[in-house]
Amino acid sequence: MFSRILVANRGEIACRVIRTAQKMGIGTVAVYSDADAHALHVAMADEAVNIGPAPVTDSYLRADHIIAAALKTGAEAIHPGYGFLSENPGFVDAVVKAGLVFIGPSADSIRAMGLKDAAKRLMEKAGVPVVPGYHGEAQELVVLASKAREIGYPVLIKARAGGGGKGMRKVDDPHEFAEALGSARREAKSAFGDDRVLVEKYIAKPRHIEVQVFGDNHGNVVHLYERDCSLQRRHQKVIEEAPAPGITAEVRAAMTGAAVKAAHAINYSGAGTIEFIVDATEGLKPDRFWFMEMNTRLQVEHPVTEMITGLDLVEWQLRVAAGEKLPLTQKQIPLNGHAIEARLYAEDPAKSFLPAIGTLHHLAFPASVRDGSVRTETGVRAGDTISPYYDPMIAKLVVHGADRTAALTAMENALTETEIAGTTTNAPFLAALIRHEGFAAGDVDTGLIDRDLVRLTVPVAVEAGAKELAILYASGLLKRAVLGDPWTTLRGYSHNSTLAYPVVLEEAGHTVRYGVSVLGDERYAITGPETSIELRVRHEPACWHLTAKGINLRAKTVAIPNGIAVLSKGAATTFAVADPFLLAEAAGNAGDRLTAPMPGLVKSVRVAAGDVVKKGQILLVLEAMKMEHSISAPHDGKIAEIASEGSQVKEKSPLVRFEEAAAVDSTKN
């Protein structure tokens, strides 16, 4: 076995590989770009090497830098993860030439499956069913159009060198073929540097079912059952599960048998996936599935296979690469229960799933992660930033249940319990998918999301009481009550009337002022423009419970920079809290006076009357709301008067007065 390996990847897959290597007592080396200097995978590894600037072309795709890092650190092998260089045969050749071991298949195996048309011709020879279509070399329009007529419309034009839906066009009418072909070719050329295509029969109700295969260097190949990856958006997988809903023993035997035959045909070693397209118009039939492509690497969705088999596929990869035989025979591989994986992304479903960069100010996964019923695969922590340079995945949530119904319930709970504040996520979209009646019934196909996209991406409405809870939390009164502050009950007391504690929110570009009063017995009053409400707030073990007329809300609150996030049912609603000191400055403190924006204690004074100060210089520190706030000079000037240290000031009391501009100027002569 290896003593040290290098992981040529980043994010959650790098963390995943490092975790297993450490469990096996293998040392690990991480590589990172400038943007990932403080990433989780770097912190987890025994050693880390910088391989270049943030763009992947200058770092994670630099084979020479990665190999040099492996040699420098004494690594014996390189694990590619997925994506980046994982299916690049040239990289494999370079690794082997450098005297290192590539933890994956041979370069020849990758080449054999690298081009869709050549792979399908190879599979036909091996007796693996292939989608009816044209996979030849001729690329003239007249030839391709003629083949499309022979196949029968609708047809699918597919880039032969790519994946992920790029260079793919469905054509329903012969008159649209030429335009669709031109569009597919241009996209394929841009994405893969190869504009050649193949033409296949379009399957009306397609399901995407794949089989996990594993081979070793001793001629052994096994399968680890199938996964259903039919829930896709723009040909990208969103939710995966194992086993496939509705599959029979007969269909499984036919499909897994074909997958093993495909792996044997190229003398495959390591982890791989044989992907099939299945015609589900009449349910799953043993003669209605066809080879689509092979992924010669570990898949993103491999954890669902691990959950139903109880096996560690990364450990198998390491053992096979080290020359060992497969740990189990086919008959020894178990199949238990049902597993589902959901890909949690920083993206906005309401804006065409655009990536949502930002800082993860708060990140917490379900409590059930600790007892093993939910598994998370992530490469980020609270405080990390989702950058524009890489895939915006936050985590993969993986659940296991005794059956599919139990797994669906577990996934819905996991999504509901996941807490993220600081960026928009697809968590509500994933939850809507899990609850979708078609998916829940197992009636899935690759077009489900597109058909119901509008319904699945309806923005989550702000829950009744969320804003009020944010105001109460921003006031500081709830926190004091939980801490047992004896003065909390007196906070709003006055001889003549109840005092309102000020909170200012930023709403639609405007500042809106609210007042919070303590009524006692866990009751509070909030007043504001067109607002007057009494509420009761109880602190329960896992959340706040806010009740009022028309409100019954259980939610958590998290303080984030310049705001409060209210977390409930897997969604986060953020309320911007205005900085009272900035408001005070905007209200007139830019002149010759600075006033206190709220009652407080002058904790310290940094300057004295007669001092000349610069804009931004700290003048004094005011303690208010049990926090210290620095009061800075809004402009250059000379101090005429300043509050004394230790003095208690009221709201709008004068703190600092500047001499007039003319007087300041005269001191400089």
Residues tagged active-site: 297
Phi then psi dihedrals of residue 13, to 5 deg: -70, -35
Q: How far is 473 from 486, CA to CA, in rounded Å?
A: 18
Strand 47-52 relative to strand 27-33, pairing: parallel
Question: Which residues 6+ apart lie within 8 Å of 441 measured at CB?
Answer: none
Task: Give, as one character, the DSSP assignment of residue 660.
Answer: P
Round the CA-based radius of gyration of the chain to a whole number and report it.
Answer: 31
400 CB contacts (<8 Å, ≥6 apart)?
307, 308, 337, 338, 339, 373, 375, 407, 410
DSSP-assigned beta bridge partners for residue 241: 228, 340
Structure tokens at 21: 């290597």
Q: How many whole angstroms separate alpha carbon 66 and alpha carbon 94?
A: 10
Strand order in the sheet with 27-33: 47-52, 27-33, 4-7, 77-79, 101-102
Using the structure block, give the residue that is written with the tokens 């597109």: 450
What is the C-alpha separation between 290 and 310, in angstroms, rounded? Answer: 28
State whether residue 356 is helix, strand or coil. Answer: coil
Instruction: Specify the long-range contacts of residues 484-489, CB closer than 8 Å, at least 24 apart.
Output: 488/518, 489/518, 489/520
CB 225 within 8 Å of CB 211: yes
Please name which of 37, 289, 293, 354 lies closest in space to residue 165, comparing C-alpha atoms.
293
| Non-local CB neighbours of 474 within 8 Å, separated by 6+ positions | 503, 505, 564, 575, 577
Structure tokens at 317: 């990869």
Taking a C-beta distance cutoff of 8 angstroms, is the pair 82, 9 a contact?
yes
Closest CA to 227 of 166, 315, 158, 306: 306
The Cα–Cα gap between 347 and 156 comes to 29
At residue 232, φ and ψ (nearest 5 deg) are -130, 150
φ/ψ of residue 502, rounded to 5: -80, 140
Q: Which residue has the tokens 């996934």?
A: 411
How crowded is the C-beta side of 135, counted as CA atoms within 13 Å? 20
